[in-house]
Amino acid sequence: MYTVFSTFDVPNEKAEEVINIYKNRSRSVDHAPGFVDFLLLQNDKREGELTVQLIFSTKEDYLKWVRSEDFKKIHDLEKKYPDKELAAVIPTVKQYKVVAK
């Protein structure tokens, strides 16, 4: 398995707005070949620190997803979000292969 963490900070007062965006996400990644799971994590001590975790069967499946038209459409929409502060957020991305479970 292969997992990717995208961590980003938003103002604490906007955290719930962002959480709701993810709760109502398009779910197109759910249909990507090799997709296993999606989680949105919130730091227990820093409300505005959020992490998206994607799990895929393989690194190759993940790479196919990030090269897909659906991925591009979703991320283009993020850049056009009306709240310019949220639209400008750039996540820190870390990728891992799962070596034990």
> How much is the pLDDT for 81?
77
Work out the number of other CB atoms within 10 angstroms of the CB of residue 2. Answer: 19
What is the rounded distance in angstroms from the CA atom of residue 96 to the CA atom of residue 91? 16
> How much is the pLDDT for 92?
97
The residue segments making up the domain with residue 27 are 2-97
Q: What is the CATH number of the domain that holds 71?
A: 3.30.70.100
The pair phi, psi for residue 53, each rounded to 5°, is -115, 125
Residue pLDDT tens, the chain, 101 long = 999 999 999 999 999 999 999 999 989 999 999 999 999 999 999 999 999 999 999 999 999 999 999 999 887 777 777 888 888 888 999 999 999 99
What is the rounded distance in angstroms from the CA atom of residue 37 to the CA atom of residue 34? 10
pTM above 0.85, yes or no: yes
What is the rounded distance in angstroms from the CA atom of residue 59 to the CA atom of residue 4? 9
What is the rounded distance in angstroms from the CA atom of residue 93 to the CA atom of residue 61? 17
CA atoms lying within 13 Å on the CB side of residue 33? 8
Instruction: Count the domains in the chain.
Output: 1
